Amino acid sequence: MRCLVGLKDFRVNDRIRAREVLVIDDEGVKLGAIKTPEALNIADEKGLDLVEVAPNANPPVCRLMDYGKFKYDQKKKERQSRDKQHTVEVKEIRLRPKTDKHDIDVKVRKTRRFLESGDKVILTCFFRGRENIHPERGELVLNHMMEQLEDLAKIESPARHQGNRMSMTLAPLAKH
């Protein structure tokens, strides 16, 4: 009996191997330690399944339940928890040392939107040709952007020059 992703494998009905099991009925009342064939008869009379919920206990603990409904509820809970999760994406904003003030303002607005939605942002400044001689200009552009985003972001990794690019990673501030 293989269950779908994330669900634990349970032994059900005839797959229970123990001679004697501790049975809990559908209302949560302990019926005590009962021989497995007898417990299966009780489950059959009530129209339920005998499900081994604690196989390592001595004797193993089994519960009377509708196993199909139980699996359905478990999948539903798992799906809901997955829907509520927000995966943090890393967005990249590309700049140049000679990027104009208005263009930087547009990129700041875009970066703000990314940070407000909870994503991390990598600010990357590309250098071409002789621009490589003046990395401080790229650092000025990155720092200027960071100053405008101080209320929303913290620097996760400071500006680093790697080859013909300089990059800085920003993470959103924790929401209160």
Pick the CATH number of 11-83 from 3.40.50.1370, 3.50.30.10, 3.10.20.80, 4.10.110.10: 3.10.20.80
Determine the pLDDT at residue 7: 52
Cα distance between residue 27 and residue 174, in whole Å? 44
Q: What is the mean pLDDT of the chain?
A: 87
**Cβ atoms 142, 125 nearer than 8 A:** yes
Residue 176, pLDDT > 60, answer no
Cα distance between residue 98 and residue 81, in whole Å? 46
In single-letter form, the type of residue at position 97 comes to: P
Residue 28, pLDDT > 90, answer no
- What's the CATH code, domain 90-172? 3.30.110.10
Would 11-83 and 90-172 be classified into the same CATH topology?
Answer: no
Domain boundaries, the chain: 11-83, 90-172
From residue 117, how far is each of 46, 154, 171 by CA, in Å?
Answer: 51, 15, 11
Q: Where are the beta strands (DSSP E) in the chain?
A: 11-12, 20-24, 30-35, 49-54, 61-65, 90-95, 120-126, 153-162, 165-172
Cα distance between residue 89 and residue 133, in whole Å? 33
Convert the pLDDT of each residue in 30-57 to its tens digit: 888 889 898 899 888 888 989 888 888 8
